[in-house]
Copies of this chain bind each other. A is one copy, B any other.
Amino acid sequence: LGLDQLNQSAVNIREHKEGCLRVVTIASVVTMFIGKILKAFDANYPNVAVSLEVQPTQRVFEYITSGQCDLGLSTLPMENPAVVSRPVLRGQSVCIFPKGHRLHAKARITPKDLRGEEFISYRSDSVYRHRVDQVFSQAKVDRRLRYELRTTDAICKLVANGIGVSVIGPSFPGVKLESGIEVRPFSPALHGDLAVLYLKHRASGRLIHAFCETVVQTLRASRRRK
């Protein structure tokens, strides 16, 4: 009886006659955008079921190419001829530091401003980590590198707790980060797009197209409001 009804629950999901969309994204998109995007999608497609996977950036591609998810929303897409990568928002690197830090007087942070600082990094298998390290290496600036974390959320928590400073990104216009930190543009700028990703041979999929349009319009509206 219990099992019958569990099966019934499963049927409920499959019953959505207008279909199901399986999306994979990264933790920082959940923090920044997912509520608004899914609210807009819900308003336009009230009978579509949505499944949302959250994975580190470098796994998003696996979920798309393996067909475990229909659509990705992530930063720093890799080049892959089988995958369409459609940029939806341009982001840029920012330096973050705790409130009250000596850097607060500066309008813009360069590598030499961070000489000798405790620097909180992304994990060493992150593409962005290597782009940041390269900038400091070219500027011949040494930092203390003791913490490396997977997610932007985790980096923001450490910085808010006064443990160090970081360069995170891409950061998007109007997005509110952790309270307790200050944010400044970082120069040289490291650009990075937020992109919608899907398999090329599925480009004509009705729900994929619908979700892309929802993402584009939601992000456009959220930029206009700032």
Residues of A within 8 A of B (CB): 2, 5-6, 8-10, 12-13, 16, 27, 30-31, 34-36, 38-39, 42, 47-56, 123-124, 130, 133-134, 136-138, 140, 142-151, 153-154, 157-158, 160-163
Contacts and interface: CB of A to CB of B under 8 A. Distances in A.
Query: How many copies are assembled?
Result: 2
A77 to B, nearest CB: 20
Contact of A42 (B35, B157, B163): B163
Contacts of A133: 6, 9
A141 to B, nearest CB: 9
A109 B10 CA distance: 23
Given A38-B158, A54-B56, 11 more contacts: A5-B137, A10-B124, A13-B145, A30-B157, A38-B163, A42-B163, A47-B146, A49-B146, A51-B148, A54-B150, A55-B56
A2 B137 contact: yes
26 contacts: A6-B130, A8-B137, A8-B142, A9-B136, A9-B145, A12-B142, A12-B144, A13-B124, A27-B30, A30-B151, A30-B153, A34-B157, A34-B158, A35-B160, A36-B161, A39-B162, A42-B163, A49-B147, A49-B148, A50-B148, A51-B149, A52-B123, A52-B149, A52-B150, A53-B150, A54-B149
